[in-house]
Amino acid sequence: MKVDQKGHTTIIKDTHNNVEAFVEKLTNEYHAFQGQNLILDVSQDKAISNADLAHFKDLAKNHKKTKKSMIIVTDTVDFNKVPNYLNVVPSVLEAHDMIEMDEIERDLGF
| Structural domains of the chain, ranges and CATH numbers in brackets | 2-108 (3.30.750.24)
How confident is the prediction for the chain on average, in pLDDT? 94
Can you give the pTM of this predicted structure? 0.93
State the average pLDDT over residues 79-106: 95
63-69 average pLDDT score: 93
Asked whether 14 and 42 are in contact (CB, 8 A), the reply is yes
Q: Identify the CA nearest to 77 among candidates 38, 19, 25, 21.
A: 19
Q: Are strands 9-13 and 2-6 parallel, antiparallel or unpaired?
A: antiparallel
**How do residues 12-40 score in pLDDT, each as one tens digit?**
999 999 999 999 999 999 999 988 999 99
Q: What is the pLDDT of residues 51-63, one digit of tens each?
A: 999 999 999 999 9
Question: For residue 7, what pLDDT is reported?
Answer: 87
Per DSSP, the three-state class of 93 is: helix
d(CA 69, CA 56): 13
pLDDT of the residue at 96:
96
pLDDT band at 110 (very low <50, low <70, confident <90, very high): confident
